[in-house]
Amino acid sequence: MSVLFVDIDHFKQYNDTYGHQAGDKVLISVAGAIARSIKRPQDIAARFGGEEFVIILPDTALHGAQEVAGRIQSAVAGLQIEHLHSAFTRLTVSIGCACSQELQETEQPDLMQAADRALYQAKTAGRNQVMAYQM
Ligand SMILES: Nc1nc2c(ncn2[C@@H]2O[C@H](COP(=O)(O)OP(=O)(O)OP(=O)(O)O)[C@@H](O)[C@H]2O)c(=O)[nH]1
């Protein structure tokens, strides 16, 4: 199983620059980009707090999860949403990814934590990137 955390970069700045309503539209657009990027019926994507989404990919190894993460990044880039306060001048996302091959039920929180840590690393490494962790 793999877990992805997807977090919009500099979203506070986006709201501050373009307004909260524009921010709400961005959340809907990013949700659509994520939905288009997951292909299997058993995959689950959900909003996880403010500007963060979680994606659960059952029976998916790390390279498969990284492929999904890459598709999400491309789909968000394809939205071409202006964000002049970002170093990339476009809206981007950071993604943390964690995979466990033989997951016991009690280890699920550890997998979430690992994905969250990977997301933090993607943020501190400059954003607009994927960090992946094999447990
Ligand atoms: N428009 C809108 N904004 C929201 C919503 N939920 C949360 N937010 C905003 O999302 C922003 C998240 O800001 P931070 O957690 O500081 O993160 P960030 O600015 O994206 O910075 P990094 O994640 O470090 O790149 C806050 O300003 C929240 O007010 C929502 O439903 N609509």
What is the domain-level CATH number for residue 64?
A: 3.30.70.270
The predicted complex's ipTM stands at 0.93
**Secondary-structure percent of the chain, ordered helix, strand, coil, rounded to 5:** 45, 25, 30
Q: What is the pTM of this model?
A: 0.94
Nearest CA to ligand 1 atom 16: 12
Whole-angstrom distance between the N-terminal and C-terminal Cα of the chain?
10
Question: Tens of pLDDT along 92-135?
Answer: 999 999 999 876 666 777 899 999 999 999 999 999 999 999 98
**What CA–CA distance (Å, rounded) separates 63 from 2?**
10
Instruction: Please answer whether residues 5 and 95 qualify as being in contact, where contact means their C-beta atoms are separated by less than 8 angstroms.
Output: yes
Instruction: Please answer whether residues 64 and 134 qualify as being in contact, where contact means their C-beta atoms are separated by less than 8 angstroms.
Output: no
C-alpha distances out from residue 42 to 39, 60, 86, 129, Å: 9, 11, 34, 25
Cα 118 to averaged position of ligand 1 atoms, centre (Å): 19
Q: Two tokens at 60?
A: 């998916």
The whole domain housing 85 covers 2-134
Domain count, the chain: 1
